[in-house]
A and B are shown apart, each in its own frame.
Chain A
Amino acid sequence: ILNVEQSPQSLHVQEGDSTNFTCSFPSSNFYALHWYRWETAKSPEALFVMTLNGDEKKKGRISATLNTKEGYSYLYIKGSQPEDSATYLCAFWEYGNKLVFGAGTILRVKS
């Protein structure tokens, strides 16, 4: 079973702080890397899907980078707001047809 690791497990920040999380995945047989945002009592929603080494994606205050050679991706949130509080999941798609999720990083933003 593939191992996808996310760090930290949880993070508590103040409103306005910038923060970042890490997703580590196997560097072989890479096909795609997904980031999802999962709010309490809702379903996960896609933030980014990245497929190329060096990919950088941005959506508002949230951005992500990808390094397939060393097997990691960073998710950045600039100027965190209370509504950013959620669990952030990354998922690795090995060439084939399986998507393997990390355990997630729980973000809590205090106002």
Chain B
Amino acid sequence: EAQVTQNPRYLITVTGKKLTVTCSQNMNHEYMSWYRQDPGLGLRQIYYSMNVEVTDKGDVPEGYKVSRKEKRNFPLILESPSPNQTSLYFCASSLGGSGGPYEQYFGPGTRLTVT
């Protein structure tokens, strides 16, 4: 089944404890992206990647890191999480490296709480 998977689905952690949220897609998509969703703000892009080893900042990259060492995986790293990073996170992928005309396929989401 074609899909985007994320792990964990739910995570409660404490301030400053490094964490990684994994994202993997099995559709051979070029483009991958991370979003966070906060009430009233819609989906905001954190980082995106057009292809392996190519990543760029979205609108809200502060406090996050990403890497794209393999085409299928795009982990999101929070080196020192803070309470303002409490949010619902989505990973997404799409077919083309340029992204634009191709629909995004979203993962199931990761609910992160930082206390």
Contact = CB atoms under 8 A, between A and B. Distances in A.
Contact of B58 (A93, A98, A103): A98
* B contact residues, range: 20 to 34
B59 A100 contact: yes
Contacts of B103: 34, 46, 49
B42 A31 contact: no
Interface residues of A, number: 23
Interface in B20-77: 31, 33, 35, 40-45, 48, 50, 56, 58-59
A75 interface: no
A51 B106 contact: no
B101 A100 contact: no
A100 to B, nearest CB: 7
A98 B42 contact: no
A99 B99 contact: yes
Interface string A90-101: 010101011111
* Secondary structure call for the A interface: strand
A60 B56 CA distance: 37
Nearest to B58: A98
A31 B58 contact: no
Interface centre among A99, A100, A101, by most chain B C-beta atoms within 10 angstroms, is A99
Interface of A: 1, 31-32, 34, 36, 43-46, 49, 51, 89, 91, 93, 95, 97-104
Interface of B: 31, 33, 35, 40-45, 48, 50, 56, 58-59, 90, 98-109
